[in-house]
Amino acid sequence: MGAGPSGLLLSQILHLAGIENVVLERRTRAYVEGRIRAGVLEQGTVDLLDQAHVGERMHREGLVHGGIELCVDGRRQRIDFEDLTGRGVTVYGQTEITKDLNNARLLAGAELHFEAENVSVHDFGDDRPWLRYQLDGREHTLQCDFVAGCDGFHGVCRQSAPAAELRTFERVYPFAWLGILSDTPPVSDELIYVRHERGFALFSMRSKTRSRLYLQCAPDEDLDEWREARIWDELRLRLGGDLADTLQSGPLLEKSLTPMRAFVAEPMRFGRLFLAGDAAHIVPPTGAKGLNLAAADVRVLSRALIDFYATGRTDQLDAYSDRCLRRVWKAQRFSWWMTSLLHRFPEGTPFDHRLQLAELAYIANSRAGATTLAENYVGLPFD
């Protein structure tokens, strides 16, 4: 269920292993491929895309980064990932990954159905679950061995889980990100995370000619009040220093508001229904973990399914939820830490602000502190 990156990646890996699968997506292909989402990939995610035979364009067009910069009130400090961990990250947009996966699946003749409506999931507590859905005005049923719920936070799969068995954990942050996409060159070769008295800012990119930029704002912000000139002025103000003068402005290709929240559903398995990606967990984007967690889920689930069809054993399937949740909560901790470190909280006191500055100073001046950030950002090892 779901033709986002997690659903398509799982479908592609199972296809390469000779396992028949069907993908149902309630949106159009154009809508799915047009969503502007994350773009920082851990090495484990890069490796998984290579294993799925969809990494060629990523390696050709993606940008490999060996670190990030922290900017505190106009003063910048680089965190050298390669020196601290021996690894870096790759910047390649989720939109492009989705296109690559869609092309690979359709080229292989996949059963990939967009605009599937009124989907319902049945009997997943038994050995033969089935689905009912409408496509092109006709009702269909599909019987299967397993259902992978990769259909996002609002999808039907988690909503179908027995309420008595499902536990959810949530934190809503008192701010949001105003994000823009612009065909202007990035202000730096690497991402810059800004802590400023007026709020957080992030200077990112999708390519050498396209910038992805964010500003902390109120969760109920009226986007109409943020004209282009105001956005560029605020970005320069928060960045500060000599670099602010080099920030090129241009027409906006996209402007959006991203609420900041954290969410986890436990468990991630209900009989033969498995949740993956945003259907099971959401992290604030500060730590760049959302897409990478989805890929990690797919890695564990695909290996478990391949092992089941090869041997008939269920031990990897039985361990799926626990294995994934261990990584999920570590990523939640890091995302919470990065968010707390860099954002201005409405209820924050002068004492809280001084603690932020002290923590950032520790990271900038301690190899141990910098390594903690680096090893989490580039991605913890798989267990």
Q: What is the pLDDT of residues 267-322, one digit of tens each?
A: 999 999 999 999 999 999 999 999 999 999 999 999 999 999 999 999 999 999 99
Q: Cβ of 127: how many Cβ atoms within 10 Å?
A: 10
Q: Residue 117 belongs to what H/E stretch?
A: strand 117-122
Q: What is the pLDDT of residue 203?
A: 97
Mean pLDDT across the stretch 93-122? 95
Cα separations (Å) of 347 from 173, 174, 343, 351? Answer: 11, 9, 12, 11
Q: Are 211 and 184 in contact (CB under 8 A)?
A: yes
**Hey, which residues are catalytic here?**
65, 193, 285, 289, 377
Q: pLDDT per residue over 345-360, tens digit each?
A: 999 999 999 999 999 9
Residue 353 placed within a domain:
no
Rounded average pLDDT over 71-83: 95
DSSP labels for 220-279? T--GGG--HHHHHHHHHHHH-TGGGGG-----EEEEEEEEEEEEEEE-SEETTEEE-GGG
User: Would you say residue 76 has pLDDT above 90?
Assistant: yes
Q: The tokens 């602000």 sit on which residue?
A: 353
Residues 271/121, Cβ–Cβ less than 8 Å: no
What's the mean pLDDT when you consider all of the chain?
96
Percent of the chain with pLDDT over 70: 100
Q: Are 134 and 108 in contact (CB under 8 A)?
A: no
Mean pLDDT confidence for 50-73: 96
Q: How sure is the predictor about 184, in pLDDT bands with cuts at 50, 70 and 90?
A: very high
Going by C-alpha positions, the residue among 154, 159, 200 that lies closest to residue 176 is 200
> Euclidean distance between the first and final Cα of the chain, in Å?
26
With vertex at residue 135, the alpha carbon angle to CA 133 and CA 141, rounded to the nearest 5 degrees, is: 35
Residue 126 above 80 pLDDT?
yes
* pLDDT reading at 118 higher than 90: yes
**Confidence bin at 382 (pLDDT 50/70/90):** confident
User: What tens digit of pLDDT does each residue of 191-213 get?
Assistant: 999 999 999 999 999 999 999 99
The whole domain housing 122 covers 5-66+86-170+260-344
Domain assignment present for residue 250? The answer is no
Question: Residue 35: what pLDDT?
Answer: 79
Whether residue 300 is contained in a domain is answered as yes
CA-to-CA distance for 88 and 348, rounded, in angstroms?
33
- Give the per-residue pLDDT at 73: 87
Query: What tokens does 291 get?
Result: 């897409």
Predicted confidence (pLDDT) at residue 38 exceeds the cutoff of 80: no
The alpha carbon of 337 is separated from its chain's Cα centroid by a whole number of angstroms, namely: 17
Please check whether residue 266 lies inside any domain of the structure: yes
CATH of the domain at 38: 3.50.50.60
Residue 158 lies in a domain: yes
- The answer to whether residue 37 scores a pLDDT higher than 80 is no
The fraction of the chain above a pLDDT of 90, given in percent, is 96
At residue 105, does pLDDT exceed 90?
yes
Q: How confident is the model over 235-261, as pLDDT tens digits?
A: 999 999 989 999 999 999 999 999 999
What is the tally of structural domains in the chain? 1
Helices (H), the chain: 5-16, 29-34, 43-51, 56-61, 81-85, 94-107, 156-160, 228-239, 290-311, 315-342, 350-365, 367-378
**Within a domain: 294:** yes
Q: What pLDDT is recorded for position 34?
A: 84
> Is 234 a member of any domain?
no
The encoded tokens of residue 321 equal 């939820």
Residue 340, domain member (yes or no):
yes
Calculate the alpha carbon distances from 268 to 66, 82, 143, 162, 294 in Å. Answer: 33, 34, 21, 12, 12
